[in-house]
């Protein structure tokens, strides 16, 4: 019997469960560029309802949702303020510059989260030499911040400070569902402080494709036009939107299992010689740990040989992400494998 791979590379690897595939197969569809796809319309309405925003638009990816927001909020030459580890800055292939002509200026937050004072310090005076800061972008939960959740009050303070200076706020809420489950704070309670929010259905929620951008009616109308321009206008995409709708209805509460498994993994590896992790930093479904004396890549290739997949985010840093693809027993198995490999590195 072939051994099942324990895939902890990302929660993006989640595959549709059989019931989800069933609703996808039976989805009612139409041409969404004409606004005729009833399943997409339902998904957009439901998403807007949960986030308590006027409107939402379905898009192929989280990257497109974020970049539509950047495009809508800024003009070429404008500047975006965001944390130094933000996904928009790190992992979107330079899109703010390429697609919107916007530059990024970063704030050195703590685990992706910064204070109102840090925001205020980063502001530039009005001066013709300087770029205009038009947009502040927050990420909740914060990916490279270790899956950290923004404290609501701090988020509100930062957003109020931005709005008071005519700066719009976008929230990359790819994992807002995880933030909400971990904190007990409704998604809408985060979303009410920001002008736009992107959410992903294709991560912990387990849908195969898709994200959404939500905001005011006027903002989303503008985003629909840019979605077309960016090549994101889809046709009978109700097939995939049905998976997202299923995920929204059925998979939000199960994220707690992923959080429990992440904690179990962090607790399991924290005392292994050669592994360093801050277990207090594990708030949701992401676990980061440092390895030494081996490099992250050495560790990853040994793990892969043993059927455990993770990714490196720095020369000595590894990221593991829990999802519906990995159960509690598999976390135990992964911990034991890490233990064995780390011991090998110490004797060799
Ligand atoms: N993150 C992916 C990779 O791109 C790193 C992952 O495996 O975590 N915002 C955040 C906070 C994200 O973590 C991601 C994906 C996105 C946006 C982009 O979503 P997609 O991959 O749908 O474009």
Q: How many helices (H) and strands (E) does the chain have?
A: 14, 13
Please check whether residue 101 lies inside any domain of the structure.
Answer: yes
- Domain stop point among 250, 269, 288: 250
Confidence of residue 348 (pLDDT cuts 50, 70, 90): low
> Is residue 22 in some structural domain?
no
Helix (H, G, I), strand (E, B) or coil at 147: coil
233 with 258, same domain? no
Atom from ligand 1 closest to the CA of residue 311:
7
| Residue 346, pLDDT score | 75
Tell me what pLDDT residue 111 has.
97
In this structure, are 217 and 282 located in the same domain? no
Nearest to 167 by CA among 115, 193, 132: 132
Quote the mean pLDDT of the chain.
97
Contacts of 317 (CB under 8 A, 6+ apart): 288, 289, 290, 291, 296
pLDDT of 83-97, one tens digit each?
999 999 999 999 999
Residue 272: give the domain boundaries.
Answer: 6-13+254-347
Mean pLDDT of 297-326: 97
Each residue of 35-84: pLDDT tens digit?
A: 999 999 999 999 999 999 999 999 999 999 999 999 999 999 999 999 99
Candidate of 200, 243, 317 to mutate for ligand 1, largest count of ligand atoms within 8 Å of Cβ: 200
Q: Comparing C-alpha atoms, which of 168, 220, 177 is closest to residue 54?
A: 220
Decide: 296 and 316 in contact? Cβ < 8 Å. yes
Tokens representing 162 are 């931005």
**DSSP state string for 11-29:** GGG----HHHHHHHHT---
116 CA distance to ligand 1 middle (Å): 26
Mean pLDDT of 274-286: 95
Please report whether residue 36 resides in a domain: yes
Distance, in Å, from the CA atom of 211 to the CA atom of 98, rounded to the nearest integer, reads 21
Output the pLDDT for position 2.
60
Testing ligand 1's pocket by substitution, the residue of 12, 85, 173, 240 carrying the most ligand atoms inside 8 A of its CB is 12
Distance 88 CA to ligand 1 centre (A): 9
Same domain, 127 and 195: yes
Q: What is the mean pLDDT of residues 143-150?
A: 98
pLDDT surpasses 80 at 347: no
Pocket of ligand 1 (CB under 6 A): 10, 12, 61-63, 66, 87, 91, 139, 143, 172, 174, 200, 202, 211
Residue 23 within a domain: no
- Per-residue model confidence (pLDDT) at position 145: 97
Q: Do 191 and 63 lie in a common domain?
A: yes
Q: Looking at the chain, how many residues does it have? A: 348
- The closest of 137, 201, 141 to 173, measured between CA atoms, is 141
Domain CATH for 43: 3.40.640.10
pLDDT range class, residue 188, cuts 50, 70, 90: very high
In this predicted structure, what is the pLDDT of residue 332? 98
- pLDDT computed for residue 61 by the predictor: 98
**CA 182 to ligand 1 center in whole angstroms:** 19
pLDDT of residue 67: 98
Residue 1 has pLDDT above 60, yes or no: no
Question: In this structure, what are the phi and psi dihedrals at residue 161, rounded to the nearest 5 degrees?
Answer: -60, -40
Closest C-alpha to ligand 1, atom 6: 10
Residue nearest to atom 4 of ligand 1 (CA): 91
Q: Is 246 helix (H, G, I), strand (E, B) or coil?
A: helix
Residues 296 and 327 in one domain: yes
**Residues 189-239: pLDDT tens digits?**
999 999 999 999 999 999 999 999 999 999 999 999 999 999 999 999 999
Is 205 in the same domain as 168? yes
Q: Are residues 59 and 202 in the same domain?
A: yes
Residues 6+ apart with CB under 8 A from 338: 268, 269, 272, 275, 303, 308
Check whether residue 132 and residue 236 sit in a common domain.
Answer: yes
Nearest CA to ligand 1 atom 20: 62
pLDDT of residue 170: 99
Q: What is the CATH number of the domain that holds 279?
A: 3.90.1150.10
Q: Please state the pTM of the whole predicted model.
A: 0.97
* 59 shares a domain with 127: yes
Number of domains in the chain: 2
Residue that is last in its domain, among 250, 272, 303: 250
Q: Does 199 lie in the same domain as 180?
A: yes
């Amino acid at each position: 019997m072939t051994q099942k791979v324990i895939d902890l590379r990302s929660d993006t690897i989640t595959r549709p469960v059989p019931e989800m595939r069933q609703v996808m197969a039976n989805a009612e569809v139409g041409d969404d560029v004409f606004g005729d796809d009833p399943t997409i319309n339902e998904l957009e309405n439901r998403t807007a309802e949960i986030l308590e925003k006027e409107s939402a638009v379905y898009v192929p990816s989280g990257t497109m949702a974020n970049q539509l927001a950047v495009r809508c909020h800024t003009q070429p030459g404008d500047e975006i303020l965001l944390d130094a580890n933000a996904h928009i800055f790190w992992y979107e292939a330079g899109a703010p510059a390429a697609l919107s002509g916007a530059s990024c200026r970063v704030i050195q937050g703590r685990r992706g989260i910064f204070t109102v004072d840090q925001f205020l310090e980063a502001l530039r005076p009005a001066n013709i030499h300087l770029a205009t800061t038009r947009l502040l972008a927050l990420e909740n939960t914060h990916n490279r911040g270790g899956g950290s959740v923004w404290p609501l009050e701090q988020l509100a303070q930062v957003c109020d400070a931005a709005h008071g200076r005519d700066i719009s706020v976008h929230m990359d809420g790819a994992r807002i569902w995880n933030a909400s489950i971990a904190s007990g704070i409704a998604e809408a309670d985060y979303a009410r402080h920001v002008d736009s929010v992107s959410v992903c259905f294709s991560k912990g929620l387990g849908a195969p494709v898709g994200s959404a951008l939500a905001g005011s009616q006027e903002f989303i109308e503008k985003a629909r036009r840019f979605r077309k321009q960016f090549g994101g206008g889809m046709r009978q995409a109700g097939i995939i939107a049905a998976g997202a709708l299923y995920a929204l209805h059925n998979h939000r509460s199960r994220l707690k299992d992923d959080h429990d498994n992440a904690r179990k993994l962090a607790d399991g590896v924290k005392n292994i010689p050669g592994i360093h992790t801050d277990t207090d930093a594990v708030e949701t479904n992401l676990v980061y740990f440092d390895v030494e004396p081996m490099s992250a890549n050495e560790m990853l290739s040994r793990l892969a040989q043993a059927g455990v997949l993770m990714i490196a985010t720095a020369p000595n840093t590894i990221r593991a992400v829990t999802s519906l693809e990995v159960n509690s027993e598999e976390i135990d198995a992964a911990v034991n494998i890490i233990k064995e490999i780390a011991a090998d590195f110490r004797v060799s």
